[in-house]
């Protein structure tokens, strides 16, 4: 029997209701337009950039509200501190594993061998143009930058770590004061959270346009020829990323019993949007919603996921370790074991300060090359042509790595509803937009009034006056069932 062909009406309904299908169509259409009309690359770029700006505008208030509500409802600041400590331990182990995996793969495959590039022919100033002449913060600068200098400035600059610190302080203050002294603060923050989620729902309707604009710009600006030139490096990075995700899936299964593949299927719209826009920040609000509905407690989601955007860059770690060895091999420098250990140690530090810094990957690579003293600084320009192609690998790996961290730390801390998580990932419980059913919205629905029945003594007295048998009149002892079946006769 031949397979049934969907009717045009059904296809139109799927296109209208499925964000995944809309984004997928926009992705393919963007590739076609960028390939056929590369001159339009800059014309459509504002579609993607505008969407990213809109999402970034709501990330800080959303993170603040989720963290404050999570701390207050959990009612235990020590538990919140334990979640933070366990998250940092998980992040350090994961990023170190990613760095080691990339380094081993680059040694085995040697993606840059045989290129014999003369560093003097490379334009080192192009790297300065990519990074804007900036630099990565030192350890002390990174710590100071995480502390807010101004409450308004933390939100205005969209500094997630500063917003997290403010949220922790506000949550701790609410726990200290209690609901008796400030009874209206927490409900107000919850209502702001509902408003922000509603705004996110509005913005997400523009996701297909954003993906279309971003893909037209990518294909039109960089073309497909770069894949031929750097094919070996690109294939290696993506293969190592897939291997790392397989290891993450094993770790997730061992710690929680959950399936990473089912989680990817559950978040397929967000994953496709992140890949299309080359930004994991665009899906942070929706990921927070989906993780909460998948059984993770608010305080764990609110702390682990945003912190991971600064401390758990697994995809970037893979790219940096492979990229460093690729550059060395391309210019004919053979790194010793001690020098490769230095690469790991330097990248463990520099990768933590990459978030939010323009051209951070090149800054980290330049810092690593300078620390070794044997790789010319200009050699970093070798990766300028392929860096944008690597964004999809970095974004997907970073995003899934952070989501796995939320599940693992939640399970570790006892902040994961396992039964609900399994039902959600199995599709037994559907995802519901939080702006469709805002929590705590609207007054409580009043219960229907109960019928008031006369007592037995009252019935007997009235029946004696009217000469009516008392048994024919329902009373409070008879209950509402008889009242419904047999209405009481009129008693004069």
Please give the pLDDT value at position 446. Answer: 37
More confident residue, 221 or 192: 192
Burial of 289 (0-12, 13-18, 19+ CB in 10 A): buried
Please report the pLDDT score of residue 226 as a whole number: 57
Close Cβ partners of 156 (under 8 Å, ≥ 6 residues apart): none
What is the SS3 string spanning 2-36? CCCCCCHHHHHHHHHHCHHHHHHHHHHHHHHHHHH
pLDDT at 443 over 50: no
User: Greater confidence, 23 or 437?
Assistant: 23
pLDDT tier at 486, thresholds 50, 70, 90 = very low
pLDDT at residue number 98: 93
Average pLDDT over residues 399-428: 92
226-230: average pLDDT: 64
Flag the least confident range among 33-42, 129-138, 144-153, 228-237.
Answer: 129-138
User: pLDDT digits over 453-471, tens only?
Assistant: 454 555 455 555 555 454 4
Which residue did the predictor score with more confidence, 449 or 163? Answer: 163
Select the more confidently predicted residue: 61 or 19: 61
* Span 283-327, pLDDT tens digits: 888 899 999 999 998 888 988 998 888 888 898 889 889 988 888
Q: Is the pLDDT of residue 476 over 80?
A: no
Residue 439: per-residue pLDDT: 43
Distance from C-alpha of 266 to C-alpha of 246, rounded to nearest angstrom: 17
User: Which has more pLDDT, 419 or 216?
Assistant: 419
pLDDT band at 99 (very low <50, low <70, confident <90, very high): very high
**pLDDT by residue (tens digit) across 188-220?**
998 998 898 888 888 888 888 888 888 887 777
The pLDDT, as a whole number, for residue 460 is 52
pLDDT number for residue 248: 94
Residues 6+ apart with CB under 8 A from 349: 139
What is the pLDDT, as a whole number, of residue 246?
95
Residue 116 has pLDDT above 60, yes or no: yes
- Please give the mean pLDDT across all residues of the chain: 78
What does the pLDDT read at residue 483? 39
pLDDT at 178: 80
């Amino acid at each position: 029997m031949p397979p049934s062909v969907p009717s045009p009406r059904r296809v139109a309904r799927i296109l209208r209701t499925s964000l995944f299908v809309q984004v997928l169509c926009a992705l393919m259409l963007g590739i076609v337009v960028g390939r056929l009309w590369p001159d339009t690359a800059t014309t459509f770029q504002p579609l993607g950039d505008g969407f990213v700006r809109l999402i970034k505008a709501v990330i800080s208030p959303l993170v603040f509200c989720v963290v404050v509500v999570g701390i207050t409802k959990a009612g235990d600041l020590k538990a919140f501190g334990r979640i933070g400590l366990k998250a940092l331990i998980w992040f350090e182990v994961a990023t170190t594993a990613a760095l080691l995996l990339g380094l081993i793969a680059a040694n085995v495959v040697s993606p840059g061998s045989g290129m014999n590039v003369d560093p003097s022919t490379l334009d080192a100033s192009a790297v300065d143009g990519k990074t804007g002449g900036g630099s990565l913060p030192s350890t002390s600068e990174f710590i100071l930058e995480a502390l807010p200098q101004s409450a308004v400035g933390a939100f205005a600059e969209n500094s997630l770590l500063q917003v997290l610190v403010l949220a922790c302080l506000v949550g701790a203050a609410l726990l200290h004061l209690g609901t008796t002294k400030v009874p209206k603060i927490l409900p107000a923050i919850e209502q702001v959270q509902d408003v922000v989620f509603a705004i996110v729902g509005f913005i997400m309707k523009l996701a297909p346009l954003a993906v279309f604009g971003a893909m037209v710009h990518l294909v039109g600006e960089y073309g497909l020829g770069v894949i031929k030139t750097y094919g070996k490096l690109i294939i290696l990075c993506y293969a190592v990323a897939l291997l790392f995700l397989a290891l993450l899936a094993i770790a997730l299964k061992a710690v929680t019993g959950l399936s990473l593949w089912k989680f990817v299927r559950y978040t397929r719209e967000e994953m496709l949007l992140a890949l299309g826009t080359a930004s994991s920040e665009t899906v942070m609000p929706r990921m927070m919603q989906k993780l909460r509905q998948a059984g993770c407690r608010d305080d764990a989601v609110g702390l682990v996921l945003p912190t991971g955007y600064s401390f758990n860059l697994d995809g970037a770690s893979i790219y940096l370790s492979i990229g460093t060895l690729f550059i060395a091999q391309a210019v004919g420098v053979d790194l010793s074991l001690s020098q490769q250990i230095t690469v790991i140690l330097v990248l463990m530090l520099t990768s933590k300060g990459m978030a939010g810094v323009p051209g951070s990957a090149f800054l980290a690579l330049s810092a690593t090359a300078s620390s070794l003293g044997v790789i010319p600084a200009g050699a970093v320009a070798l990766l300028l042509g392929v860096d944008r192609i690597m964004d999809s690998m970095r974004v997907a790996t970073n995003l899934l790595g952070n989501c796995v961290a939320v599940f693992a730390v939640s399970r570790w801390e006892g902040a994961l509803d396992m039964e609900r998580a399994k039902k959600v990932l199995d599709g037994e419980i559907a995802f519901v937009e939080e702006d469709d059913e805002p929590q705590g919205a609207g007054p409580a629905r009043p219960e229907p009034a109960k019928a008031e029945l006369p007592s037995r003594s009252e019935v007997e007295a009235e029946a004696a006056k009217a000469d009516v048998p008392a048994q024919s009149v329902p009373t409070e002892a008879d209950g509402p069932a008889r009242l419904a079946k047999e209405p009481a006769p009129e008693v004069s």
